[in-house]
Amino acid sequence: MAAPVIDDAPLHDASDVADFARRCFDGGDGDGRVGVELEFLVYDRASADLHVPIRRVAEALGLPPGDSVLPGGCRVTFEPGGQLELSGPAAPLHAAIERVAADVALARAVLGAAGLRLAGVGLDPVRRAHRQLREPRYDAMAAFFGGPYGPLMMCSTASVQVNLDLGERPAVRWERAHTLGPVLTAAFANSPLSGGRPCGWMSGRQAVWENLDNTRTSPVRSGGDPVAAWTDYLLAARVMLRREGDRFHPVADGSTFGDWLAAPGPPPTGADLAYHATTLFPPVRPRGWLEVRYLDAQHPDDWPVCVAVTHALITDDRAADTALAAAEPCRSQWRHASRHGIADPQIRRAATECFAAALAALPRLGAPAELTAKVARFAERVAAGRCPATDLLEGTQAMTQGNRSTW
C-alpha cells in the first residue's frame, strides 16, 4: 500500500486535480494485505466521568515523547480528546489481526494496572467533549467546525478503520465498499448513548459525522468512474484551512477547492491539494488503498470480527457477489442504517446474508478456526436482530447506577 507522491508544483486546472485523484487509486498490488486502525476511549476505573490526561496514558504505556511503536508493530497516537489510536502494519488478514491483538492485549494489561480501561464504543456515552491536544491543525479544525458536532467528532468519537489493498480492479472494490456501507454500519453500530442516555441513533458517531459538513463527510458518488467521482469531490469540498509554513489558518468564507483553483492570485499547489484531501472524511476514502471509515469502535474482544467481515466481503469475489446482491436494496440508506441499526427488517436480512457469505469466505482467506468461530457467534446475534448498540441500550439503567461493565 502506497500513498500518492506529492510536490509543491502549482496546480493549473481541474485536470491536475484529476491526476492526483487518479494516483489515489494506484498502488494496489493484489497481495491481499489489510491494515487495521483502532481507536479507543480511555477511562479511569475509579470514575468514568473524568477525562484521563493523555500524559497519564502515555506514561502508563511507557511511551517516550513523539511517535511510538508497540511490540506488535502498532504505532501509538492520540486523537484530540485523548482517544488512544493503535495503527497496525499492513499484513495478510490473520497476521494483521494477530499483531494488533497482541498490542491491544498489552495496552489493556498495562493500562489496567494503572487503574485505566480501554472502552470500544463509537461515541463517548458519558463525558462531555473536552479537547486535550492544542496543535495548530486542531485549533484550525475546531474553528472551522464550531459546535456542537465539531467538538463531538474531534474529542468523543472512536472507530475501527479497515485499510484494504485496491487489488487489480480498484473500481470494483470501491463499489463494493460503498454498496456494503449502510449494512455494515448497522451491523456494527455501537454508539447509541450520549450524556448517559439514548441519543436516538444506534450509531450516534455516524450521526455526528453526517451533521458536520456534507461537502467533506457525505459519501463520494459511486456507480461510475471512481477517479471522476473523487475529482469532483475534491473540487466541491470546502477548504478547511490553508497552511503557511507551520501555521494553519481556518477558511471561513465557504469557498471550495475549486474556487481556490479558479481564483486570481497564487494558485494552490500539489501539496495544498494533498493536505486538503486529508481534511475530507467520506465513509470510504482512497489513498493508494481504500480506507473503510464507517465502522464504530468495537469492544476490545470484538474488533477482529469487524475487520474479518469487511475484508472478506470486499476482497473475496464469491463472498462479494452474494453480499452485494443482499445489500443492494440498502445501498443508499446511510442515515436510516445509522439511526435504526439492524432493527430494520430489510437491513437485518441483508446483514444476515452478508455474514453468511463472510463465514464461507474466511477459510479461503486463511482465517484460523478461532477467528471464524468468533465471526459465527457475532453472526448469530446479527440474525437475531442484535448489534453492539443493543447491548449498550439494555445496559443504560445499569450505567446510571455506576456500572459501566457493558462497554
The pLDDT score that the predictor gives to residue 279 is 96
Question: Residue 70: helix, strand or coil by DSSP?
Answer: coil
Residue 241, exposed/middle/buried by CB under 10 A (0-12, 13-18, 19+)? buried
Average pLDDT of every residue of the chain: 94
Whether 15 and 235 have beta carbons less than 8 Å apart is answered as no
For β-strands 284-286 and 75-78, DSSP reports them as: unpaired
Span 41-60, mean pLDDT?
A: 96
pLDDT tens readout for residues 230-274: 999 999 999 999 888 778 888 999 999 999 999 998 999 999 999
The pLDDT score that the predictor gives to residue 144 is 92
**In this model, does residue 351 exceed pLDDT 80?**
yes
CA angle 387, 391, 394 (to 5 degrees): 130
Distance CA 121, CA 101 (A): 17
The pLDDT score that the predictor gives to residue 199 is 97
**In this model, does residue 395 exceed pLDDT 70?**
yes
**In this model, does residue 402 exceed pLDDT 50?**
no
Span 4-8, mean pLDDT?
A: 67
User: In CATH, what class is 14-400?
Assistant: alpha beta
Span 178-189, mean pLDDT?
A: 99
Span 202-213, mean pLDDT?
A: 97
pLDDT tens readout for residues 100-137: 999 999 999 999 999 999 999 999 999 999 999 998 88
pLDDT tens readout for residues 281-294: 999 999 999 999 99
The pLDDT score that the predictor gives to residue 33 is 94
**In this model, does residue 396 exceed pLDDT 90?**
no
Q: At what angle do helices 226-236 and 170-179 cross, to 10 degrees?
A: 60
The pLDDT score that the predictor gives to residue 133 is 96
Sign of CA dihedral 358, 183, 181, 240: negative
Q: Which residue has the higher pLDDT, 298 or 139?
A: 298
Cell of 332: 443508499
Nearest to 37 by CA among 161, 217, 204, 123: 161
The pLDDT score that the predictor gives to residue 247 is 82
Rg (CA), the chain: 20
Span 300-319, mean pLDDT?
A: 98
**In this model, does residue 219 exceed pLDDT 60?**
yes
Q: How many CB atoms lie within 10 A of CB 111?
A: 22
Task: Give the DSSP per-residue string, 218-252.
Answer: SPPP-SS-HHHHHHHHHHHSBP-EEEETTEEEE--
Q: Domain extents for the chain?
A: 14-400
Among 22-31, 207-216, 371-380, whose mean pLDDT is lowest? 22-31
